[in-house]
Chains A and B, each alone.
Chain A
Amino acid sequence: MKEEQEQWLEDILHSAQGKAPVSPNPALLEAIQTQLKQEPYLQLTKSNWTKNWIAAAAIVLGLLNVFAFQQILSNNYSSENTSAPSTNYESLISDYNLYE
């Protein structure tokens, strides 16, 4: 009795195997193409614009960083130049210490 129930269950579990292939309504492709023509191009264009703006902003920021870095380097260089003669001033001052 149990064997027969098992067979019945097995028959059900395998009842969909070997089914014939099915296809959607032939008009579906046209419906999809219509939907694609109606909206996604706008979204794609919008997303490209966003990407372009992000890229442009990144380039501007990069250039600003390079410019700022160059400024810092040149400032350091010029401050080194001005600090160099300070020893000469010290010696000059010490030369005028007449009462030491």
Chain B
Amino acid sequence: MHTSSKDLLAAVSHGDDVAFQQLYERFSAKVYSTALSYAQQEQEAEEITQDVFVNIFRKAHQFKGKSAVSTWIYRITVNASLNHIQSKKRRFFWQPLEQIPEPSNFHHPGISLENKENATLLYAAIKTLPDRQKTAFILSFIEDLPRQEVADIMETSLKSIEALLQRSKKNLRDQLKKWHPNRGKKKK
């Protein structure tokens, strides 16, 4: 029998372990994939996924049903991912330079071999975006969510999502050109 996500969440709010497992099976891949786009490291993405599901369990009773369950879960995921990045930045602020790990070339496990090189550049450039542009871009172009759902997750209008996407694309292009000024140009 197919149970709706809202019913599952209602059962989770009463401490139902089986409902929690079903909700996990339904959303863990989406949560993990989104977290991976932010953290760009598999172990950190798993830590974020763990935080998200612990929060879902704790806050299930606060879900008012005003949005879709997936929207609510994506919102928790985005917040957890941004918080994770922030706390990581704060941690490294106090460490001597030689202890700070070098930014690794992230290879997303789901990306085909032919796109691997380009995607690595893309993920590196995404890291340089401001938070709201980063979120709009990840949800729209990496997670392939409809624009309206992205607007709902970010609690803003469709128009401002379009504006954020335009700015994020421009910033990504500028960053890529700065890193590789001669790429894509024919050699004479």
Interface of B: prevailing SS? helix
Interface centre among A6, A22, A44 (most CB of B within 10 A): A22
Kindly identify, within residues 1 to 60 of chain A, every residue whose CB is under 8 Å from any CB belonging to chain B: 1, 4-9, 11-17, 19-25, 28-29, 31-33, 35-36, 40, 44
Interface of A: prevailing SS? helix
CB-CB < 8 A to B141: which residues of A? 13-14, 16-17
Residue of A nearest to B24 (CB): A29
Q: Does B183 contact A (CB under 8 A)?
A: yes
The CA of A25 and the CA of B109, in the complex, are separated in Å by 13
Residue of A nearest to B50 (CB): A32
Partner of A28, one of B49, B115, B172: B49
CB-CB < 8 A to A14: which residues of B? 141
Check if B50 sits within 8 Å of A28, measured CB to CB: yes
CB-CB < 8 A to B186: which residues of A? 1, 4
The CA of A1 and the CA of B184, in the complex, are separated in Å by 8
CB-CB < 8 A to B45: which residues of A? 24
The CA of A35 and the CA of B169, in the complex, are separated in Å by 39
CB distance from B19 to the nearest CB of A (A): 13
CB-CB < 8 A to A15: which residues of B? 111, 115, 118-119, 121-122
Check if B110 sits within 8 Å of A22, measured CB to CB: yes
Residue of B nearest to A8 (CB): B184
CB-CB < 8 A to A28: which residues of B? 28, 46, 49-50
Residue of B nearest to A35 (CB): B54
Interface residues of A (CB under 8 A from B): 1, 4-9, 11-17, 19-25, 28-29, 31-33, 35-36, 40, 44
Nearest 8 pairs between A and B by C-beta? A8-B184, A15-B118, A5-B184, A19-B110, A20-B110, A24-B32, A15-B119, A15-B115
